[in-house]
Amino acid sequence: MIHQASESRSPGMIAHAAGLLAAFVRYFKARAALFGVEAKEAGVNYGVAAAVVVVALFLAVLAYVFLVITAVFGIAALFEGRNAWIGVMGVAALVHAGGAAALVFYAMRRFKAGAFPITLEEFSKDQQWLTRLSSNH
């Protein structure tokens, strides 16, 4: 009789274990799907930031070129006289340098935003739920 009772309990325990395993699989599948969506968003975010950095570097190089040309022709103007285009080149250099600085600050802000905020928030909620559940039992 004892042998039969343990056999009748065994399928129930296996069924419960299988149900628990299935629940874990569904849980991690949902979290993996959320992670995938956020990974795509993070890729776009960091891709845009990287493109902005490239443009900022290009503008910084232009600013350097304009500043050097301005310095060279400014010194040359001391010896020859007035040339209005020297001031224009200086202003162009300042505009490019300002644009590069603005883009670098924008890219830094995008990088500081962080990745996967929704997934981390969901894991935090899950942790709180599990903590409350374990404290009730």
Report the 3 state secondary structure along 83-123.
CCHHHHHHHHHHHHHHHHHHHHHHHHHHHHCCCCHHHHHHH
User: What DSSP letter does each residue of the chain carry, written as one string?
Assistant: -HHHHHHHHHHHHHHHHHHHHHHHHHHHHHHHHHHHHHHHHHHHHHHHHHHHHHHHHHHHHHHHHHHHHHHHHHHHHHHH---THHHHHHHHHHHHHHHHHHHHHHHHHHHHT-S-HHHHHHHHHHHHHHHHHHHH-
pLDDT at 54: 95
Residue-wise pLDDT tens digits, 100-121 = 999 999 998 888 877 787 888 8
Cα-atom radius of gyration of the chain, to the nearest Å? 32
pLDDT at 41: 86
> Which residue type, as a one-letter code, is found at position 33?
A
Mean pLDDT of all residues in 11-15: 78
> Which residue type, as a one-letter code, is found at position 13?
M
pLDDT at 53: 94
Domain residue ranges of the chain, discontinuous segments joined by +: 2-115
Residue 122: is its pLDDT beyond 80? yes
Residue-wise pLDDT tens digits, 53-92 = 999 999 999 998 888 788 767 766 666 656 666 766 777 7
